[in-house]
């Protein structure tokens, strides 16, 4: 919306800055971060009051979770979505159809996650929606978007584990969006050029800022969980951006940590059904390391490092072509 100011203040060098995607991306990131910081504490207090017992904890999971995570409220993803939405509407070019498409996917996934979280809290059962209900939205979304939304959801099992890899992926795809949206850079790198997709950098900047603000409250020991409200929405957002930029396979590399988490669950289920034996002590794989005795902060930080390495590998593929 602020980008429109440059059209009415053509004589001002300052307002001319709003024509630059890089400037608006930085503005969106800063705005979203400030909003997340500002609303985080009172919103968490409201969630705690409304939810009472908070998110139900798996009884078959690591025993320490029953002590350290019990009573922690969920649906913290609403903090991210609100900050992201406001900042995106302020700093993005609202005449760009990609902006509305990605925001629509994000909010739809957020709504699905909210229903799932609400079911968990009200029924005090970690399962949330039934398997049949979950299949309904799979029929309406592309495999890439749905798959990555679920992948982020599976990874969100430890304090701060999912949000930093999301930030890393957002920053990486912010760069990719900018390059794909520029004819000169995309031609030089030999990657597809998609006119107008560079504007999605502002949304990814807003996601990065909102995630930073949320991490303040989600860092161990977490005061709030992202919940399906956040994990499904953010995974869906990244999936939608990958589809828009025609870099779906690069997303599988950049988001390699999420892919590994998902594969660990699929492998565990497949082998157990076939042989009755488990490949991992518990899936997703981050719980396997907990069962081995690794401390939660150790797992989280090492997984962050792995995510960063995957992001560098994803960026490297742009030049390798």
205-217: pLDDT as tens digits = 999 999 999 999 9
**Separation of first and last alpha carbons in the chain:** 36
Domain that holds residue 90: 2-10+17-248
pLDDT computed for residue 283 by the predictor: 82
pLDDT computed for residue 187 by the predictor: 92
Report residue 50's pLDDT band, with 50, 70 and 90 as the boundaries. Answer: confident
Domain count, the chain: 1
Question: Of 39-48, 63-72, 293-302, 304-313, which gets the smallest average pLDDT?
Answer: 63-72
Q: Are 10 and 16 in contact (CB under 8 A)?
A: yes
Question: Of 63-67, 81-85, 104-108, 266-270, which gets the smallest average pLDDT?
Answer: 63-67
Question: Of 47-56, 126-135, 255-264, which gets the smallest average pLDDT?
Answer: 126-135
Question: Of 46-55, 92-101, 265-274, which gets the smallest average pLDDT?
Answer: 46-55
Report residue 179's pLDDT band, with 50, 70 and 90 as the boundaries. Answer: very high
Considering the domain boundaries, does residue 89 fall inside one?
A: yes
pLDDT tops 50 at residue 47: yes
Residue 29's closest CA among 91, 73, 95, 82? Answer: 91
Report residue 138's pLDDT band, with 50, 70 and 90 as the boundaries. Answer: very low
- Taking phi over 0 as left and psi of -120 to 50 as alpha, with beta for the rest, 276 belongs to left
pLDDT computed for residue 134 by the predictor: 52
Average pLDDT, integer, range 271-292: 87
Q: What is the rounded distance in angstroms from the CA atom of residue 176 to the CA atom of residue 127?
A: 36
Q: What is the rounded distance in angstroms from the CA atom of residue 228 to the CA atom of residue 212?
A: 18
Residue 71's closest CA among 198, 175, 206, 222? Answer: 222
Considering the domain boundaries, does residue 276 fall inside one?
A: no
pLDDT tops 60 at residue 72: yes
pLDDT tops 80 at residue 26: yes
Considering the domain boundaries, does residue 118 fall inside one?
A: yes
Report residue 140's pLDDT band, with 50, 70 and 90 as the boundaries. Answer: very low
Distance of alpha carbon 61 from the chain centroid: 24
pLDDT computed for residue 158 by the predictor: 74
Q: What is the rounded distance in angstroms from the CA atom of residue 1 to the CA atom of residue 14?
A: 16
Considering the domain boundaries, does residue 292 fall inside one?
A: no
pLDDT tops 60 at residue 137: no
pLDDT computed for residue 49 by the predictor: 87
Considering the domain boundaries, does residue 196 fall inside one?
A: yes
**Structural tokens at position 35:** 């909003």
Average pLDDT, integer, range 34-48: 94
**Structural tokens at position 55:** 């998110």
Q: Are 177 and 198 in contact (CB under 8 A)?
A: yes
Considering the domain boundaries, does residue 256 fall inside one?
A: no
Q: Are 218 and 226 in contact (CB under 8 A)?
A: yes
Considering the domain boundaries, does residue 138 fall inside one?
A: yes
Q: Are 307 and 165 in contact (CB under 8 A)?
A: yes
Q: What is the rounded distance in angstroms from the CA atom of residue 290 to the CA atom of residue 310?
A: 22
Considering the domain boundaries, does residue 99 fall inside one?
A: yes
């Amino acid at each position: 919306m602020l980008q429109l100011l440059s059209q009415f203040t053509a004589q001002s060098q300052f307002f001319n800055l709003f024509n630059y995607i890089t400037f608006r991306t930085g503005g969106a990131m800063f705005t979203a971060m400030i909003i997340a910081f500002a609303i985080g504490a009172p919103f968490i207090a409201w969630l705690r009051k409304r939810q009472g017992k908070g998110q139900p904890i798996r009884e078959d999971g690591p025993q320490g979770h029953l002590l350290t995570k019990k009573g922690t409220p969920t649906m913290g993803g609403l903090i991210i979505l609100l900050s992201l939405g406001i900042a995106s509407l302020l700093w993005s070019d609202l005449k760009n159809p990609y902006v509305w498409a990605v925001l629509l996917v994000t909010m739809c996934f957020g709504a699905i996650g909210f229903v799932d979280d609400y079911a968990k809290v009200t029924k005090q059962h970690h399962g949330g929606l039934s398997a049949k209900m979950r299949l309904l939205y799979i029929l309406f979304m592309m495999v890439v978007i749905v798959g990555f939304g679920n992948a982020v959801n599976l990874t969100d099992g430890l304090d701060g584990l999912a949000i930093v890899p999301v930030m890393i992926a957002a920053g990486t795809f912010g760069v990719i969006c900018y390059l794909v949206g520029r004819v000169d850079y995309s031609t030089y790198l030999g990657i597809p050029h998609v006119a107008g997709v560079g504007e999605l950098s502002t949304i990814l900047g807003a996601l990065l800022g909102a995630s930073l603000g949320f991490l303040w409250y989600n860092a161990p020991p977490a005061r709030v969980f992202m919940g399906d409200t956040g994990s499904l929405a953010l995974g869906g957002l990244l999936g939608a951006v990958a589809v828009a930029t025609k870099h779906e396979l690069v997303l599988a590399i950049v988001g390699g940590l999420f892919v590994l988490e998902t594969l660990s669950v699929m492998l565990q289920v497949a082998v157990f059904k076939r042989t009755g034996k488990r490949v991992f002590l518990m899936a997703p794989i981050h719980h396997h390391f907990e069962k081995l005795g690794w401390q939660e902060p150790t797992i989280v930080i090492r997984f962050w490092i792995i995510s960063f390495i995957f992001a560098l590998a994803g960026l490297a593929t742009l030049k390798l072509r």
